[in-house]
Amino acid sequence: MLSLLDHAEVDGLVAAHSITTLFYPTSKHLGGKKAAAVLLDLLDHVSVTPLDQDLLLRALSLGWHDIEDAVQGLSAQGARADHLVTRNPSDVPSTVVAVVTPPELLAVLRSEND
């Protein structure tokens, strides 16, 4: 997926809290310095969507089962993303933004380039 960003075929976005969420398992697997290097590399390829009190209040008021999913959905919506890519699309109602799995996104991009 990151190779798509290298070729400017798509603009990548990541919710601000995802960076801190990703650091923990990455550092457990690679160690702190390598995890930081991986995330710095990621940040060279994507833009970070803002996270503030208003977004958190709106996410909490949605009443979704998982606050992280609500923050992801509202972050994508606020950034006017075309798609929110997740391995668990049923966790994010598609009323916020079109929700797709990684393979589904690749299929969408292929069809747009045909």
User: Which structure tokens are listed for 26?
Assistant: 């990455």
- Tokens standing for 19? 């960076």
Average pLDDT of the segment spanning 104-108: 87
What is the tens place of the pLDDT at every residue in 11-48?
Answer: 889 999 999 999 999 999 999 999 999 999 999 989 99
The SS3 call for residue 97 is: coil
Could you tell me the CATH superfamily of domain 2-113? 5'-nuclease (3.40.50.1010)
**Can you tell me the distance from the alpha carbon of 60 to that of 70, in angstroms, rounded to the nearest whole number?**
8
Q: Which residues contact 88 (CB under 8 A, 6 or more apart)?
A: none
The model's pTM is 0.81
Q: Please tell me what DSSP assigns to residue 63.
A: T
Q: What is the arithmetic mean of pLDDT over 3-16?
A: 77
